Amino acid sequence: MTKSIPVLTIDGPGGAGKGTISSLIAKRLGWHLLDSGALYRLTAAAAIKHAVALDDEQGVAALAQSLDVAFPVGEGGVRTLLEGEDVSQLIRTEQMGERASMVAAMPEVRTALLQRQRDFCQTPGLVADGRDMGTVVFTDAPLKVFLTASAEERARRRHLQLQEAGMDASLPSLLKEIQARDARDTQRSVAPLKPADDAITLDTTRLSIPEVVERLSELLAQKGLASVD
């Protein structure tokens, strides 16, 4: 990480609003965006595509090291390509999120993806969205935020998101999946999900997206990093 390049890390559990907030802040600042969760989802998708068992740590790590991915921006927004194939919708399913959580618990996979994530740190700045951005990947980041929300609220948001996408989903099932993933992410031996010691925790349960963006804008201004107009 280059210390002269400002980095905002936004960590937290799934459904806390990290992706939406991170993309809005990055777009308004004109900074680069790292969606680290997408890299783990893509690794899981690559393992399935190449018939590598998800419990084969060395095999999955080898795929992660040579992952052929791209995030082209078009009129419809950002697309996610795996080996030239558009997997934007595929990697956002709850099932793929579960698989991503499994491979993210593997030390060799995390090591394989570490430098790839740090390479996203380029001028004029970076917004890094994930679960260990502030605790492991960008430990020197001048501003670290940990977004959270109740499991019930995160399940409700995910349920609404899936409904809007025309996908069927059971709210009770989503809640159980989120709780199981939280347990796995917080209890794993490598890079467990937790706020960095110097992170600012922000509970978004009762906050709207504009309210969260406004709060982060204030924090950025207080740190002298940027002004989000």
Sketch the domain layout of the chain as residue ranges.
7-219
134 in a known ligand binding site: no
15 in a known ligand binding site: yes
Pairing mode of beta strands 69-70, 32-35: unpaired
Confidence of residue 157 (pLDDT cuts 50, 70, 90): very high
Which CATH entry fits the domain spanning 7-219: 3.40.630.20, 3.40.630.30, 3.40.50.300, 3.30.950.10?
3.40.50.300
pTM: 0.84
The 10s digit of each residue's pLDDT in 31-71 is: 988 888 899 999 999 999 999 999 999 999 999 998 888 87
pLDDT at 227: 61
84 in a known ligand binding site: no
pLDDT at 164: 85
* 88: phi then psi, degrees, rounded to nearest 5: -55, -45
Whole-angstrom Cα distance, residue 179 to residue 167?
21
Amino acid identity of 84? Answer: G
Q: Which of 121, 128, 170, 125 is nearest to 38 (CA)?
A: 128
Tell me the percentage of the chain whose pLDDT exceeds 90: 63
30 in a known ligand binding site: no
Confidence of residue 229 (pLDDT cuts 50, 70, 90): low
